[in-house]
Structure 1
Amino acid sequence: MSASTSSAAPAPLTGMRFAIGAFAVALATFMNVLDSSIANVAIPTLSGDLGVSVDEGTWVITVFSAANAVAIPLTGWLTQRIGQVKLFVAAILLFTISSALCGLAPNLSVLLLARVLQGVSAGPLIPLSQALLLTTFPKEKSGSALSLWAMTATVGPIVGPALGGWITDRYSWSWIFYINVPVGIFAGAAVWMIYRDRETPTHRLPIDTVGLLALIGWVAALQVMLDKGKDLDWFNSPVICALGIFALIGLAFFVIWELTEEKPIVDLRLFAGRNFLGGTVAISVAYAIFFANLVLLPQWIQEYLGYRAVDAGMVTAPLGIFAVVLAPMMGKLMMKTDVRILATMAFAGFSGVFFMRSLYTTQIDQYTLILPTLLQGIPTALFFVPLTAIILSGLPPEKIPSAAGLSNFVRVFAGAVGTSLLATGWNNRTILHHSQLTEQANSYNSIFTESVAQAQSTLQIGASNALAFIENGLNAQAAMLGLNDIFWLSAIIFIVIIPLIWVTHPSKDAAAEAATAGGH
């Protein structure tokens, strides 16, 4: 065994080193979180520039999430093998390089490869940023360290869509990736300058190579199957069938291998715990719905309401306002309240927000469009931390890093899967509603004939152009009805999964255990 430093915990930073160090670590977190939301509003423009459909453009988001999920379980092993500081700086620099490659990508294939690299490098950034902030602050102010981290992480949803929309409209979608370059260079250099003499001990540890390859194999097969399914007519395609069989066999092999391996890359035995199982399933399903809707909403706003990317960003930006305002209060609130009550309130709040959206129409005004997004910030603030507390509650200290890594892997991967599934669902429901609407568009329907005549008269156009005008309206209406179905289903799912919270029995120290997880 070799150690790069003494195993003793480093002293908290002070003065200018404290200010620069905390800012640089928080900036790296912000860069990562920003990138997960900044691309959402750029998908329609990006897809048009690259000559692909919006559905294919959505892969830019899903492959990032899938690669990020696979990288998360590796963070613990890499930290012990390389060292906390070296790994964090390397992840920042790799994220920066891959961001530049994203911006330079001449076609979708190159962009997706660069996004995979970006997702892999993003894996260690979140857990290591928490750990470094906890060593930056005095131990008695660990709550302040995690509050700073939470504030940084929740500012991203506010700034990301608005900034992404503005950059896309003013310059080009490439610059939503290029802006990471100066930020990443500064953050990496500052972190290395401040923290290089505070490296953690390193150990030569074996890695579960078979488990890692199996994990990559079934995750990749499943994600490609979900992303290509609609284009290839799902299971009528031999390619989709082969991918599905490979993913199923790969998952089964992965589960059996990990349960029998002495030092697995993912400790699946944690699912035997009631708190971990209930909490992880709940947070993963909820995040899948939450994240997928964050992707679909800006697409609909731009494609069917005619908003510019910057305006779509401004509509979705208010999500983070209440999340930022309430984040500093969560620590004290969790100490005084059963975390299951807070999580239940979050799910009920999300359900209410999505029910409000299920009433949207094609004539919606901006206020009605923004209000649910603004209110969504309240359940967002009550969402992540209480469920993390439930997941980690009652676990021995040595299990907390593995549990935090596994739950984050499942959650992030669920976000990628959820986006693919809901995007497909929206497309299918849109086709169904369009078919139902066009059944009424015939010469025997007086309302339809009157609409054609009115369009001709009002717009001073011929019959063929009037029919094309009506068809555009039908397309917008069908897409709206399809998205309403997705919103309504999302509202129902949030209610249905509430019992998962109440099968758990978190300890009274659940909040403290959640804070402890920030150091791993």
Structure 2
Amino acid sequence: MQKEMEKKSSQTWAIILFTIAVFMSGLDNGIISTALTTIGDSFHVSPSWGTWSVTIYTFGIAISVPIIGKLSDRYGRKKLFLVEITLFGIGSLLVALSPNFTFLLVSRFIQAIGGGGIFVIGSSHILATLPKEKQGKALGVFGGMHGLSAVIGPNLGAFILQLTGQWQWMFLINIPIVIFLIVFGFTKIHETKAPQTESLDMLGSIILSMGILALMYGLTNLDSTSWISSLLSENVFPYLIVGIISFLILIKYEKSIEEKGKDPIIPYSLIQKRLFRMTLLVGLLSGGFLAGIIFIPAYVQQVLHIPVEQAGYWLTPMALASGIGAGLGGVLTDRIGARKTLMIAGVVGFIGFILFPIWVNGFFTYLIASILAGIGLGFLLGAPLNVLVGESAQKGQQGTALGTLSLIRQIGLALFPTLYAGLITGAYTKLNNTLDEMTNLPFIFADANNYGDLMEQVEKIADVSKQQEVLKMISQTLESGFSKMFITAAILAVITFIIGAYLNKRK
């Protein structure tokens, strides 16, 4: 009886601690977005270099997720959780103390290695310790925190920057949380690990890391205003080829490793399973949903004409809805299964995203659409995909399988912003040509970052009626670009529904 109570207490503490850690690590990528200009000014670097403080974090997470998942299966989830949290804390402290930009990038990479595996470790711990009928709710909580952190991050970053006036505090606030997690993680979480003794597949890890870095670097350098020419450029094409070849070599190498009875970093037996491949595809699409959040403040400012200092706060309804959606997704997964929950996520997400281009014209309509889109997003971030991955994996492979799912989601987060930016930038290109015909002013701009400069130029128009005409035309043209983005997201939701229906039929 006492052992049963201790086991239940440990499970409760594990869920609480993992949830806090997932929220903290997810928050740190969004929180820095509000301080990019400030950090760039501090170290006298260009905006293009400044964005590497975000890019290097994404790289680190993409590299660490599958490797940490494998290590947690082998050496223990509690042990790897403590190591990850410690690295995250050290990285946070080093970022805040950075004397130059190169030091900051190295520190952000350390921070990413520490934060990258937390979600995977927590999810695999849940799959290994909780009965199947309770896994959905717990995984739904994890997904909710992951979604909330992505949306709340920019708002919290703006608040801290406004309150303290120093970007360093965005990272220093992590330190007391890290200390709390280490102390209580060490004393309250029971160790779990897979019964394996094989050594880590180091060569496979190196090939995987090289492929991820090459692929993501190439995607980052894509020019959304000129797809074909940039795709064939020396900064993109060679890296994409290296990335693709690396993954092909990895699959062949992992197959040979598994045939020899050894332990690959990504088991070939998993990749062969239709359920696992379909789940990874939905994971890629969920990265596309998350990527759309990046452009919500710009949409609110440029289409709904909300002041820039208030635009970020309009993410709050979607943030709350994604948390609620993740929880509901967990409950539905327990009751009706992951496949049917995916179908519901597709329907709700489609309605939410399609409402933006056809109905949204103010706060009330925006609120309804963002809540529905957020709930659909929350479903995908929570239990269904993790449960399907758990079904695909054999006992002892959960961490590896979940790590691969997180990796695919990171690739989606790298790919879809480029696509969305291209759709929006296309509207700006069209706008540039139209303004030349309507006015004699030299309107020169290329992307959404120049919206403020554009408004300043519009204010120079002396004729009030002409000014209103130009403002109306700008709003309509920009809305067309954002509409294409939301329609694309709606199409992703339809594909999610189709995959869910297919898996449900094949069950």
- Report the TM-score, using the length of structure 2 for normalisation: 0.78
Tell me the CA shift for residue 284 of structure 1: 1.4
Does residue 86 of structure 2 align to residue 93 of structure 1? Answer: yes
Does residue 385 of structure 2 align to residue 387 of structure 1? Answer: yes
Determine the C-alpha separation between the residues in 2 that align with 1:271 and 1:201.
Answer: 20
Contact 1:63 1:223 in 2 (8 A): no
Which residue type is aligned with residue 184 of structure 1?
A: V
Tell me the CA shift for residue 153 of structure 1: 4.1
Tell me the CA shift for residue 148 of structure 1: 5.0
Determine the C-alpha separation between the residues in 1 that align with 2:15 and 2:335.
Answer: 29
Determine the C-alpha separation between the residues in 1 that align with 2:96 and 2:487.
Answer: 36
Task: State the match for 2:315 in structure 1.
Answer: 316
CA deviation string 1:299-319 (max 9, x = no partner): 55568857455x333211222
Tell me the CA shift for residue 143 of structure 1: 6.2
Mark the CA change 1:474 to 1:17 in structure 2 (over 3 Å): closer, same or farther.
same
Which residue type is aligned with residue 353 of structure 1?
A: G
CA deviation string 1:17-53 (max 9, x = no partner): 8876654343222212322443445556656666667
Contact 1:279 1:387 in 2 (8 A): yes
120-129 vs 153-162, which moves further: 153-162
* Superposition CA RMSD, Å: 4.1
Matches within 5 A, 1:144-293: 145-146=138-139, 149-150=142-143, 152-157=145-150, 159-170=152-163, 171-195=165-189, 198=191, 205-230=198-223, 234-235=230-231, 237-262=233-258, 263-285=263-285, 287-293=286-292
CA deviation string 1:379-409 (max 9, x = no partner): 1343242233344446543544433332222
What runs of 5+ residues in structure 2 fail to find an aligned partner?
Answer: 441-456
Does residue 110 of structure 2 align to residue 117 of structure 1? Answer: yes
Determine the C-alpha separation between the residues in 1 that align with 2:459 and 2:87.
Answer: 60
Determine the C-alpha separation between the residues in 1 that align with 2:281 and 2:341.
Answer: 17
Determine the C-alpha separation between the residues in 1 that align with 2:35 and 2:155.
Answer: 10
Tell me the CA shift for residue 60 of structure 1: 3.9
Identity rate, percent: 22
Tell me the CA shift for residue 290 of structure 1: 1.0
Which residue type is aligned with residue 319 of structure 1?
A: M
Tell me the CA shift for residue 220 of structure 1: 0.8
Does residue 480 of structure 2 align to residue 484 of structure 1? Answer: no
Matches within 5 A, 1:329-478: 329-337=328-336, 339-358=338-357, 365-383=362-380, 384-393=382-391, 396-427=394-425, 429-441=426-438, 455-458=461-464
Task: State the match for 2:453 in structure 1.
Answer: none
Determine the C-alpha separation between the residues in 1 that align with 2:157 and 2:477.
Answer: 28
Tell me the CA shift for residue 343 of structure 1: 1.4
Determine the C-alpha separation between the residues in 1 that align with 2:55 and 2:346.
Answer: 24
Mark the CA change 1:115 to 1:320 in structure 2 (over 3 Å): closer, same or farther.
same
Task: State the match for 1:77 in structure 2.
Answer: 70
Determine the C-alpha separation between the residues in 1 that align with 2:350 and 2:54.
Answer: 24
Task: State the match for 1:34 in structure 2.
Answer: 27
Contact 1:37 1:161 in 2 (8 A): yes
Determine the C-alpha separation between the residues in 2 that align with 1:359 and 1:436.
Answer: 25
Contact 2:275 2:503 in 1 (8 A): yes
Determine the C-alpha separation between the residues in 2 that align with 1:359 and 1:49.
Answer: 43
Contact 1:102 1:115 in 2 (8 A): yes
Tell me the CA shift for residue 320 of structure 1: 3.2
Tell me the CA shift for residue 293 of structure 1: 0.8
Mark the CA change 1:52 to 1:292 in structure 2 (over 3 Å): closer, same or farther.
farther
Aligned positions, number: 479
Q: Secondary structure at the match of 1:229?
A: coil
Contact 2:136 2:384 in 1 (8 A): no
Determine the C-alpha separation between the residues in 2 that align with 1:303 and 1:486.
Answer: 14
CA deviation string 1:133-161 (max 9, x = no partner): 67898999666654654554454356434
Determine the C-alpha separation between the residues in 1 that align with 2:320 and 2:394.
Answer: 36
Determine the C-alpha separation between the residues in 1 that align with 2:376 and 2:105.
Answer: 32
Which residue type is aligned with residue 258 of structure 1?
A: E
Contact 2:124 2:399 in 1 (8 A): no
Q: Secondary structure at the match of 1:265?
A: coil
Contact 2:301 2:307 in 1 (8 A): yes
CA deviation string 1:252-289 (max 9, x = no partner): 3223222322232112432322222222212312x122
Which residue type is aligned with residue 207 of structure 1?
A: L
